[in-house]
Amino acid sequence: MEVKDSKIAIIGLGYVGLPLAVAFAQKYKVIGFDINTKRVQELLSGNDTTLEISDELLGSVLDNNNSKNSGLTLSTSDEILKDCNIYIITVPTPTDRYNRPVLTPMINASKQIAAFLKKDDIVIYESTVYPGVTEDEMVPILEAYSGLKYNKDFYCGYSPERINPGDKEHTVTKILKVTSGSNPKTAEIVDNLYKSIITAGTFKASSIKVAEAAKVIENSQRDINIAFVNELSKIFNLIGIDTQEVLQAAGTKWNFLNFKPGLVGGHCIGVDPYYLAQKAQEVGYHPEIILSGRRLNDSMGRYVATEVVKLMMRKDIKVIDSRVLILGFTFKEDCPDFRNTRIIDIYKELKSFEMNVDIYDPWINTFEVKNEYDIDVLIEQPEMSKYSAIILAVAHQKFSKIDIQSTKNSVVYDVKGILPKQNVDARL
């Protein structure tokens, strides 16, 4: 296959799939497929509610009539996939309530495209997985539902996503891309395909399993480092020194790793370590550092809530029936993404003390939060002075400008360390 002849199908049009589809659509014929009718309709109207793609850019690549030599055609009908020769799967890989990997979206996507696979087609997975998922678990599905043979009739690649939601500087084409293929020729085709749109360049891994492992350890490494500074924060709080000041001093050494304490949520860092742990346990090894880091990071929401209660008691502020405000609900600053947000842990712990808890986040879709968590998020910024405690949980730029001076009789806890130290009672 010549790369220039590629007709690409992107399966899944979320935070990963849409930016990739738009990037490819500027050079290739691209079919964007998603089972979410509401999502596809919103994109067809020229609007991306994830805010990853501007309306102007989205509008410039849309080809609703499927009539151009390049451009993006969107659909919820899988029949539109039948003429493609490269299928890129960008569906989520979550965990269940017991932190076990859930491969159902990948399995369903694989079954769906298998019905359309033809001789010499290539299936590329971008979803984050543990080593072996592509070849040991997805390929048998592709073979069974297509009747074709792997590495004889069709081929596979793996190129892990490196999307950073809300980051307008490190966009998909500006982040170096790891690529791989099921044989040397396929690896070359996959690498050349991505190289044609990734201005930052590519790195061709030696095998699909190596590429899968490289991705899953990226976020596991970050998770462990954040767990370390979160533990330091707990220690320094007991000693009576400011963690932010300690990190600032230590950061003057050229090789000190600049991680900050905080809540670890989102679709990657808080999830991916469990995928690596799953594979380790399958081969008879019980990971200690990886799971220890996860336990510590997952405890930070409850820790913050408990610290706020202690501060209220020290100020002789009534806890039961008090009013508390949480500023922020997304998993990171200045983006609307609240997948796997750990702010919910703060909320639930405060509610367990019979407090009245409000949440305000100017970035959030309040209807989506209501549907998922049954929480009514405030639409307008409330009056700060009416709360007994305020928790700045997310470092939205807007929050750094909030006037905290009117809250002198309240507890102010700054999880992200963005407010002046003298204006808060404590910070993580």
Write out pLDDT tens, residues 203-212. 999 999 999 9
pLDDT at 123 over 70: yes
Query: Within this chain, do residues 80 and 182 fall inside the same structural domain, yes or no?
Result: yes
Angle at 215 between CA 139 and CA 394, to 5 degrees: 125
Q: What per-residue confidence (pLDDT) applies to 70?
A: 82
CA distance 243 to 77: 53
Answer whether residue 318 is part of any domain. yes
Query: Within this chain, do residues 177 and 255 fall inside the same structural domain, yes or no?
Result: no
Q: Is the dihedral of CA 88, 334, 416, 248 positive or negative?
A: positive
Q: What is the DSSP letter of 323?
A: E
268 has catalytic annotation: yes
Query: Residues with Cβ < 8 Å from 409, sequence gap 6 or more?
Result: none
**Sheet bearing 29-33, strands edge to edge:** 71-75, 29-33, 7-11, 86-89, 122-125, 155-158
SS3 assignment, position 425: coil
Choice among 84, 156, 268, 335 that is catalytic:
268
Query: Within this chain, do residues 247 and 184 fall inside the same structural domain, yes or no?
Result: no
Alpha helices in 139-183 (DSSP H): 139-146
pLDDT digit string (tens) for 69-97? 789 999 999 999 998 999 999 999 999 98
CA distance 340 to 151: 37
pLDDT at 156 over 90: yes
CA distance 102 to 426: 38
CA distance 122 to 181: 9
Query: Within this chain, do residues 59 and 11 fall inside the same structural domain, yes or no?
Result: yes
Task: Count up the domains in the chain and report the number.
Answer: 2
Query: Within this chain, do residues 355 and 247 fall inside the same structural domain, yes or no?
Result: yes
CA distance 425 to 49: 36
Answer whether residue 416 is part of any domain. yes
The encoded tokens of residue 338 equal: 């609240």
CA distance 94 to 73: 27
Query: Within this chain, do residues 153 and 297 fall inside the same structural domain, yes or no?
Result: no
pLDDT at 405 over 70: no
Answer whether residue 79 is part of any domain. yes
CATH of the domain at 406: 3.40.50.720
Query: Within this chain, do residues 187 and 248 fall inside the same structural domain, yes or no?
Result: no
Q: Tell me, what amino acid is at 169?
A: E
pLDDT at 268 over 90: no
Query: Within this chain, do residues 43 and 122 fall inside the same structural domain, yes or no?
Result: yes
The encoded tokens of residue 229 equal: 């500074």
pLDDT digit string (tens) for 167-204? 788 889 999 999 999 999 999 999 999 999 999 999 99
CA distance 197 to 134: 24
What is the residue range of 147's domain? 3-215
Q: What per-residue confidence (pLDDT) applies to 185?
A: 96
Query: Within this chain, do residues 256 and 182 fall inside the same structural domain, yes or no?
Result: no
